[in-house]
Amino acid sequence: MPAVVVKHAVGGTDLANYWFPGVTPDDATAGDGFAVLADSVDAAAAELEAAGQPWEWAGFVWMQGESDSLDLGLAYAYEDNLTGLVAAVRAITATPELPVVVGLISRESIWTYGDVVRDAEAAVAAADPYVVTVETDDLLRNELDQPHYDSVSNRVLGRRFARALLEGADVPAGDDAPQAALTVSSGPSDYDFTGTCGWEFTTTTPIEVTDLGAYGTSYIGTPTEVGIWDADANLVVRGTVPSWYEAPATWRKSVWYIAIDPVRLEPGTYRLGLVSWTGDADRYLNDASGTFASGITYTAAVYAEGYWLTYPSNSFVSASVSFVGPDFLFTPAP
Protein backbone atom coordinates (compact mmCIF):
# COMPACT_ATOMS: atom_id res chain seq x y z
CA MET A 1 0.00 0.00 0.00
CA PRO A 2 1.43 3.43 -0.92
CA ALA A 3 2.20 5.88 1.87
CA VAL A 4 0.99 9.47 1.82
CA VAL A 5 2.83 12.12 3.87
CA VAL A 6 0.85 15.11 5.10
CA LYS A 7 3.58 17.62 5.82
CA HIS A 8 2.90 20.49 8.18
CA ALA A 9 5.77 22.36 9.82
CA VAL A 10 6.51 25.84 11.12
CA GLY A 11 9.98 26.66 12.46
CA GLY A 12 10.84 28.63 15.57
CA THR A 13 7.59 27.87 17.40
CA ASP A 14 6.79 26.55 20.87
CA LEU A 15 4.45 23.82 22.05
CA ALA A 16 3.19 25.75 25.06
CA ASN A 17 1.49 28.46 23.00
CA TYR A 18 1.67 28.07 19.23
CA TRP A 19 0.89 24.34 19.10
CA PHE A 20 -1.30 24.29 22.23
CA PRO A 21 -4.40 22.25 21.27
CA GLY A 22 -6.69 23.69 23.90
CA VAL A 23 -8.32 21.85 26.74
CA THR A 24 -11.37 20.68 24.81
CA PRO A 25 -12.13 20.20 21.10
CA ASP A 26 -12.66 23.53 19.31
CA ASP A 27 -11.26 25.35 22.36
CA ALA A 28 -10.86 29.03 21.43
CA THR A 29 -7.60 29.16 23.41
CA ALA A 30 -5.91 26.73 21.02
CA GLY A 31 -2.78 28.12 19.41
CA ASP A 32 -2.65 29.23 15.81
CA GLY A 33 -0.36 26.34 14.93
CA PHE A 34 -2.70 23.64 16.14
CA ALA A 35 -5.71 25.26 14.46
CA VAL A 36 -3.93 25.23 11.08
CA LEU A 37 -2.67 21.69 11.72
CA ALA A 38 -6.26 20.57 12.26
CA ASP A 39 -7.23 22.25 8.97
CA SER A 40 -4.39 20.42 7.18
CA VAL A 41 -5.58 17.10 8.60
CA ASP A 42 -9.16 17.78 7.47
CA ALA A 43 -8.05 18.84 3.99
CA ALA A 44 -5.87 15.76 3.58
CA ALA A 45 -8.68 13.46 4.74
CA ALA A 46 -11.09 15.05 2.27
CA GLU A 47 -8.65 14.59 -0.59
CA LEU A 48 -7.99 10.97 0.32
CA GLU A 49 -11.72 10.27 0.54
CA ALA A 50 -12.25 11.89 -2.86
CA ALA A 51 -9.65 9.55 -4.36
CA GLY A 52 -12.01 6.68 -3.61
CA GLN A 53 -9.35 4.33 -2.22
CA PRO A 54 -9.40 2.83 1.29
CA TRP A 55 -6.94 4.50 3.65
CA GLU A 56 -6.16 5.00 7.32
CA TRP A 57 -4.02 7.25 9.49
CA ALA A 58 -0.75 5.39 10.10
CA GLY A 59 1.11 7.73 12.42
CA PHE A 60 2.11 11.19 13.59
CA VAL A 61 5.70 12.47 13.66
CA TRP A 62 6.73 15.26 16.04
CA MET A 63 10.11 17.04 15.91
CA GLN A 64 9.99 20.08 18.18
CA GLY A 65 10.97 21.26 21.64
CA GLU A 66 13.96 23.52 21.17
CA SER A 67 11.94 26.72 21.58
CA ASP A 68 10.37 25.47 24.82
CA SER A 69 13.82 24.53 26.13
CA LEU A 70 14.83 28.19 26.27
CA ASP A 71 12.36 28.92 29.08
CA LEU A 72 12.45 27.03 32.38
CA GLY A 73 8.67 27.17 32.88
CA LEU A 74 7.89 25.97 29.36
CA ALA A 75 10.49 23.22 29.65
CA TYR A 76 8.92 21.81 32.82
CA ALA A 77 5.44 22.08 31.29
CA TYR A 78 6.52 20.15 28.20
CA GLU A 79 5.51 16.68 29.38
CA ASP A 80 1.92 17.72 30.08
CA ASN A 81 1.75 19.79 26.90
CA LEU A 82 3.05 16.97 24.71
CA THR A 83 0.67 14.48 26.31
CA GLY A 84 -2.17 16.87 25.51
CA LEU A 85 -1.01 17.34 21.93
CA VAL A 86 -0.84 13.60 21.30
CA ALA A 87 -4.38 13.19 22.65
CA ALA A 88 -5.63 16.07 20.49
CA VAL A 89 -4.05 14.70 17.31
CA ARG A 90 -5.61 11.32 17.97
CA ALA A 91 -8.93 13.08 18.41
CA ILE A 92 -8.82 15.04 15.14
CA THR A 93 -7.73 11.91 13.25
CA ALA A 94 -10.31 9.78 15.05
CA THR A 95 -7.58 7.21 15.74
CA PRO A 96 -7.37 6.52 19.50
CA GLU A 97 -4.28 4.33 19.18
CA LEU A 98 -2.51 6.42 16.53
CA PRO A 99 1.23 5.62 16.57
CA VAL A 100 3.35 8.67 17.41
CA VAL A 101 7.07 9.18 16.88
CA VAL A 102 8.84 11.90 18.85
CA GLY A 103 12.28 13.15 17.89
CA LEU A 104 14.36 13.75 21.01
CA ILE A 105 15.92 17.20 20.80
CA SER A 106 19.71 17.23 20.85
CA ARG A 107 21.86 18.09 23.86
CA GLU A 108 23.27 21.20 22.19
CA SER A 109 24.36 23.77 24.77
CA ILE A 110 22.30 26.44 23.01
CA TRP A 111 19.15 24.72 24.33
CA THR A 112 19.32 25.99 27.91
CA TYR A 113 16.93 23.46 29.44
CA GLY A 114 17.23 20.87 26.70
CA ASP A 115 17.70 17.99 29.12
CA VAL A 116 14.39 18.85 30.79
CA VAL A 117 12.58 18.71 27.45
CA ARG A 118 14.36 15.49 26.43
CA ASP A 119 13.35 13.88 29.71
CA ALA A 120 9.77 15.03 29.12
CA GLU A 121 9.71 13.54 25.62
CA ALA A 122 11.07 10.25 26.92
CA ALA A 123 8.53 10.24 29.77
CA VAL A 124 5.61 10.67 27.37
CA ALA A 125 6.87 7.70 25.35
CA ALA A 126 7.37 5.59 28.46
CA ALA A 127 3.80 6.25 29.57
CA ASP A 128 2.15 5.51 26.21
CA PRO A 129 2.61 2.15 24.44
CA TYR A 130 1.94 3.79 21.06
CA VAL A 131 4.57 6.54 21.40
CA VAL A 132 8.22 5.87 20.50
CA THR A 133 11.27 8.10 20.19
CA VAL A 134 14.05 8.76 17.70
CA GLU A 135 17.54 9.86 18.77
CA THR A 136 19.02 12.94 17.12
CA ASP A 137 22.00 13.65 19.36
CA ASP A 138 24.49 12.12 16.90
CA LEU A 139 23.21 14.12 13.92
CA LEU A 140 25.34 17.07 12.85
CA ARG A 141 24.05 20.62 12.83
CA ASN A 142 24.27 23.07 9.96
CA GLU A 143 27.66 24.72 10.49
CA LEU A 144 26.33 27.94 8.94
CA ASP A 145 23.04 27.84 10.89
CA GLN A 146 23.77 26.11 14.19
CA PRO A 147 20.21 25.76 15.56
CA HIS A 148 19.22 23.51 12.64
CA TYR A 149 20.32 20.11 11.37
CA ASP A 150 22.06 20.11 8.00
CA SER A 151 20.46 18.47 4.99
CA VAL A 152 22.39 15.20 5.43
CA SER A 153 21.16 14.91 9.02
CA ASN A 154 17.61 15.76 7.98
CA ARG A 155 17.74 12.91 5.48
CA VAL A 156 18.85 10.48 8.20
CA LEU A 157 16.22 11.84 10.56
CA GLY A 158 13.50 11.15 7.99
CA ARG A 159 14.66 7.54 7.61
CA ARG A 160 14.71 7.09 11.38
CA PHE A 161 11.16 8.40 11.65
CA ALA A 162 10.03 5.97 8.96
CA ARG A 163 11.80 3.08 10.69
CA ALA A 164 10.24 3.98 14.05
CA LEU A 165 6.75 4.00 12.51
CA LEU A 166 7.28 0.72 10.67
CA GLU A 167 8.84 -1.09 13.62
CA GLY A 168 6.89 0.57 16.43
CA ALA A 169 10.08 0.88 18.47
CA ASP A 170 12.57 3.50 19.62
CA VAL A 171 15.40 4.23 17.17
CA PRO A 172 18.76 4.94 18.81
CA ALA A 173 21.82 6.70 17.45
CA GLY A 174 23.61 4.53 14.91
CA ASP A 175 25.91 4.13 11.95
CA ASP A 176 23.14 5.20 9.57
CA ALA A 177 24.49 8.76 9.91
CA PRO A 178 26.99 9.27 7.04
CA GLN A 179 30.58 10.14 7.97
CA ALA A 180 33.31 11.83 5.96
CA ALA A 181 35.98 9.65 4.39
CA LEU A 182 38.49 12.42 5.14
CA THR A 183 38.32 15.24 7.67
CA VAL A 184 40.89 17.89 6.78
CA SER A 185 42.80 19.70 9.52
CA SER A 186 45.29 21.85 7.57
CA GLY A 187 47.08 22.39 4.28
CA PRO A 188 47.98 25.09 1.74
CA SER A 189 45.12 25.99 -0.61
CA ASP A 190 47.37 26.46 -3.63
CA TYR A 191 46.65 23.65 -6.10
CA ASP A 192 45.90 25.24 -9.49
CA PHE A 193 45.57 22.74 -12.31
CA THR A 194 43.40 21.90 -15.31
CA GLY A 195 42.40 18.27 -15.06
CA THR A 196 41.10 15.68 -12.64
CA CYS A 197 42.80 15.56 -9.25
CA GLY A 198 42.23 13.66 -6.03
CA TRP A 199 43.44 10.67 -4.08
CA GLU A 200 43.47 6.90 -4.03
CA PHE A 201 42.11 4.92 -1.10
CA THR A 202 41.30 1.43 0.02
CA THR A 203 38.31 0.26 2.00
CA THR A 204 38.48 -2.89 4.09
CA THR A 205 34.71 -3.35 4.44
CA PRO A 206 31.76 -2.77 2.11
CA ILE A 207 30.58 0.84 2.24
CA GLU A 208 27.72 2.84 0.75
CA VAL A 209 28.63 6.24 -0.68
CA THR A 210 25.78 8.67 0.02
CA ASP A 211 27.24 12.10 -0.84
CA LEU A 212 30.04 13.51 -2.98
CA GLY A 213 31.98 16.59 -1.90
CA ALA A 214 34.36 19.31 -3.01
CA TYR A 215 36.72 21.22 -0.73
CA GLY A 216 35.93 24.89 -0.24
CA THR A 217 36.69 27.09 2.76
CA SER A 218 34.23 29.60 1.28
CA TYR A 219 31.45 29.35 -1.29
CA ILE A 220 32.20 27.26 -4.38
CA GLY A 221 32.14 29.54 -7.39
CA THR A 222 32.18 26.91 -10.14
CA PRO A 223 30.25 23.62 -10.19
CA THR A 224 32.53 20.62 -10.35
CA GLU A 225 32.09 16.98 -11.25
CA VAL A 226 33.31 14.35 -8.80
CA GLY A 227 33.85 10.69 -9.56
CA ILE A 228 35.08 7.43 -8.02
CA TRP A 229 36.77 4.75 -10.14
CA ASP A 230 37.41 1.14 -9.24
CA ALA A 231 40.73 -0.69 -9.65
CA ASP A 232 39.87 -1.44 -13.29
CA ALA A 233 39.39 2.28 -14.04
CA ASN A 234 35.60 1.93 -14.27
CA LEU A 235 33.70 5.05 -13.19
CA VAL A 236 31.36 3.69 -10.51
CA VAL A 237 30.18 6.90 -8.83
CA ARG A 238 29.56 10.29 -10.43
CA GLY A 239 27.94 13.53 -9.37
CA THR A 240 28.18 17.30 -9.60
CA VAL A 241 28.74 19.56 -6.62
CA PRO A 242 26.93 22.79 -7.58
CA SER A 243 28.19 26.32 -7.16
CA TRP A 244 26.70 28.34 -4.34
CA TYR A 245 24.72 30.39 -6.85
CA GLU A 246 23.00 27.32 -8.32
CA ALA A 247 22.01 25.34 -5.24
CA PRO A 248 23.72 25.56 -1.85
CA ALA A 249 25.06 22.17 -0.80
CA THR A 250 25.80 20.87 2.70
CA TRP A 251 28.95 22.35 4.25
CA ARG A 252 30.88 20.16 6.68
CA LYS A 253 34.43 20.88 7.84
CA SER A 254 35.35 22.93 4.74
CA VAL A 255 33.78 20.51 2.27
CA TRP A 256 30.56 21.05 0.29
CA TYR A 257 28.54 17.84 -0.17
CA ILE A 258 25.72 16.92 -2.52
CA ALA A 259 23.52 13.84 -2.09
CA ILE A 260 23.57 11.05 -4.67
CA ASP A 261 21.68 7.81 -5.07
CA PRO A 262 23.67 5.58 -2.69
CA VAL A 263 26.30 3.41 -4.37
CA ARG A 264 27.81 0.31 -2.76
CA LEU A 265 31.58 -0.14 -2.90
CA GLU A 266 33.02 -3.54 -2.11
CA PRO A 267 36.35 -3.86 -0.26
CA GLY A 268 39.17 -2.82 -2.57
CA THR A 269 41.13 0.09 -4.05
CA TYR A 270 39.47 3.13 -5.61
CA ARG A 271 40.44 6.53 -7.01
CA LEU A 272 38.50 9.67 -6.15
CA GLY A 273 38.80 12.81 -8.27
CA LEU A 274 37.19 16.09 -9.26
CA VAL A 275 37.57 18.46 -12.20
CA SER A 276 39.91 21.39 -11.51
CA TRP A 277 40.48 24.49 -13.66
CA THR A 278 43.63 26.62 -13.86
CA GLY A 279 42.89 30.15 -12.67
CA ASP A 280 39.65 29.13 -10.99
CA ALA A 281 39.01 30.78 -7.63
CA ASP A 282 38.19 27.33 -6.22
CA ARG A 283 41.62 26.10 -5.11
CA TYR A 284 42.43 22.74 -3.54
CA LEU A 285 44.87 21.52 -0.91
CA ASN A 286 48.35 20.26 -1.66
CA ASP A 287 50.28 18.46 1.11
CA ALA A 288 47.39 18.47 3.57
CA SER A 289 46.89 16.71 6.87
CA GLY A 290 43.71 15.18 8.19
CA THR A 291 41.99 12.16 9.64
CA PHE A 292 40.54 9.29 7.64
CA ALA A 293 37.47 7.37 8.76
CA SER A 294 37.94 3.91 10.19
CA GLY A 295 38.35 1.40 7.37
CA ILE A 296 39.42 4.06 4.83
CA THR A 297 43.16 4.18 4.04
CA TYR A 298 44.87 6.82 1.90
CA THR A 299 47.39 5.35 -0.53
CA ALA A 300 48.40 7.99 -3.10
CA ALA A 301 47.74 11.32 -4.79
CA VAL A 302 46.22 10.94 -8.27
CA TYR A 303 45.70 13.23 -11.24
CA ALA A 304 45.21 13.43 -15.01
CA GLU A 305 45.24 16.36 -17.43
CA GLY A 306 42.09 17.19 -19.35
CA TYR A 307 39.05 19.43 -19.53
CA TRP A 308 36.48 16.96 -18.23
CA LEU A 309 36.16 14.26 -15.60
CA THR A 310 38.89 11.77 -16.48
CA TYR A 311 40.29 8.68 -14.80
CA PRO A 312 43.26 10.02 -12.78
CA SER A 313 45.82 7.53 -14.05
CA ASN A 314 48.92 9.29 -12.66
CA SER A 315 49.86 8.85 -9.03
CA PHE A 316 52.56 9.50 -6.46
CA VAL A 317 52.98 8.67 -2.78
CA SER A 318 53.87 11.24 -0.12
CA ALA A 319 53.68 11.51 3.65
CA SER A 320 50.95 14.17 3.42
CA VAL A 321 47.62 13.99 1.61
CA SER A 322 47.30 15.32 -1.93
CA PHE A 323 45.21 16.40 -3.67
CA VAL A 324 42.45 17.39 -1.27
CA GLY A 325 39.68 18.57 -3.52
CA PRO A 326 37.19 15.71 -3.57
CA ASP A 327 35.72 13.90 -0.58
CA PHE A 328 32.67 11.74 0.14
CA LEU A 329 30.29 10.70 2.89
CA PHE A 330 29.47 7.07 3.50
CA THR A 331 27.84 4.55 5.80
CA PRO A 332 28.59 0.86 6.31
CA ALA A 333 26.90 -1.06 3.51
CA PRO A 334 23.79 -3.01 4.59
Q: How far apart are CA 113 and CA 93, in angstroms?
A: 32
187, 291 in Cβ contact below 8 A?
no
Q: 100-103 and 131-134: which strand pairing?
A: parallel
Structure confidence at residue 25 (pLDDT): 60
Class of domain 179-332: mainly beta
- Give the Å distances, CA to CA, from 214 to 198, 210, 271, 309, 317: 10, 14, 15, 14, 21
Q: How far apart are CA 91 and CA 97, in angstroms?
A: 10
Class of domain 32-167: alpha beta
Structure confidence at residue 14 (pLDDT): 96
Q: Where exactly are the structural domains of the chain? A: 32-167, 179-332
Q: How far apart are CA 126 and CA 107, in angstroms?
A: 20
292, 182 in Cβ contact below 8 A?
yes
Q: How many CA atoms lie within 13 A of 334 on its CB side?
A: 6
Structure confidence at residue 122 (pLDDT): 98
Contacts of 174 (CB under 8 A, 6+ apart): 138
Residue 181 DSSP one-character state: S
Structure confidence at residue 86 (pLDDT): 97
**Strand pairing partners for 60?**
100
| Alpha-helical runs (H) found in the chain | 32-51, 72-76, 78-92, 114-127, 151-167
Which among 126, 62, 135, 137 has a CA at the least distance from the CA of 100? 62
The sheet carrying 195-203 orders its strands as: 235-241, 224-229, 268-276, 195-203, 296-305, 314-316
Structure confidence at residue 216 (pLDDT): 87
Angle, alpha carbons 301-189-141 (nearest 5°): 95
Q: Is 187 helix (H, G, I), strand (E, B) or coil?
A: coil
Residue 69 DSSP one-character state: G
Q: How far apart are CA 65 and CA 286, in angstroms?
A: 44
Structure confidence at residue 22 (pLDDT): 83
pLDDT per residue rounded down to tens, the chain (334 residues): 688 898 888 989 999 999 999 876 667 788 999 999 999 999 999 999 998 889 999 999 999 999 999 999 999 999 999 999 999 999 999 999 999 999 999 998 899 999 999 999 999 999 999 999 999 999 998 887 878 899 999 999 999 999 999 999 999 999 999 999 999 988 888 888 899 999 999 999 999 999 999 998 778 888 999 999 999 999 999 999 999 888 778 989 999 999 999 999 999 999 999 999 998 888 888 889 999 999 999 999 999 999 999 999 999 998 889 999 999 999 999 8
Structure confidence at residue 196 (pLDDT): 97
Q: What is Dmax (Cα atoms) for the chain?
A: 72
Q: At 164, give phi and psi (nearest 5°).
A: -60, -40
Q: How far apart are CA 41 and CA 44, in angstroms?
A: 5
Q: How far apart are CA 53 and CA 4, in angstroms?
A: 12
Q: How far apart are CA 262 and CA 121, in angstroms?
A: 33
**Strand pairing partners for 332?**
207
